[in-house]
Amino acid sequence: MTAEKLIELANASGGTLYVMALLLLIALTVVIERTRYLFKMQHGGQQLIDRLHDIRSIDGTVLKSVLDGYYHLPHGSLFQAAMIEPQDSSRELCAGHLEEALMREVPLLDRSLWMLDTVITLAPLLGLFGTIIGMFGAFSVLGDVQNSATQVTGGIAEALIATASGLFIAMIGLVFFNSLNVKVRLIVHQIEVIKLMLLNRRFGTPPAEEVLQAKLRAV
């Protein structure tokens, strides 16, 4: 299909194909940016967990050495909160401060994903809109007796390209949207693991009753 034909189809769709091309560009930009960012965050978070794994007790010096080179990670906010925690702080108070640091970082992980979600919803609707407009042009030739049925069916086939384009964009976007959401959940889980590891290495493993109560609150 030539470029001239594509431009003709875009014009026949009422310009919706131009809008869908913009939506595809937005979706690809979000996918590439978030994929690179979340991959770095997940990889760095796993390295932090590995570095903490063999440490049995922590203090400010140990935390700085573990965090060295990882300050840019969202996980690092937990280490910074733990480093400024008073020495006489209780486990519950420290856990609350770490949870506060965690909650500040979570919204940054799924930033821009709302744009991808919007593209997934909007693209099929725009495709249907473009098809309807194309149908008007296809059936308008029926008023001229010299036009054959093949012209009508050809116009309908061209109009359906808008719907096909919208569905294609939505399907591609949905695959990456679900994949990115999984990465976000994994990173949040990493942060939760680091929070528990920091608490356990400073205050020791909580009694079984506290663990049971925490599980019940989570449910």
Segment 114-120 shows an average pLDDT of 94
Domain count, the chain: 1
Mean pLDDT across the chain: 81
Tell me, letter by letter, the H, E, C secondary structure of the chain. Answer: CCHHHHHHHHHHCCCHHHHHHHHHHHHHHHHHHHHHHHHHHHHHHHHHHHHHHCCCCCCHHHHHHHHCCCCCCCCHHHHHHHHCCCCCCCHHHHHHHHHHHHHHHHHHHCCCHHHHHHHHHHHHHHHHHHHHHHHHHHHHHHHCCCCCHHHHHHHHHHHHHHHHHHHHHHHHHHHHHHHHHHHHHHHHHHHHHHHHHHHHHHHCCCCHHHHHHHHHHHC
Interval 2-45: pLDDT, tens: 666 666 666 666 677 788 889 999 999 999 999 999 999 999 99
Domain hosting residue 145, numbered range: 3-218
Q: What is the pLDDT of residue 219?
A: 47
Between 30 and 88, the higher pLDDT residue: 30
Between 189 and 154, the higher pLDDT residue: 189
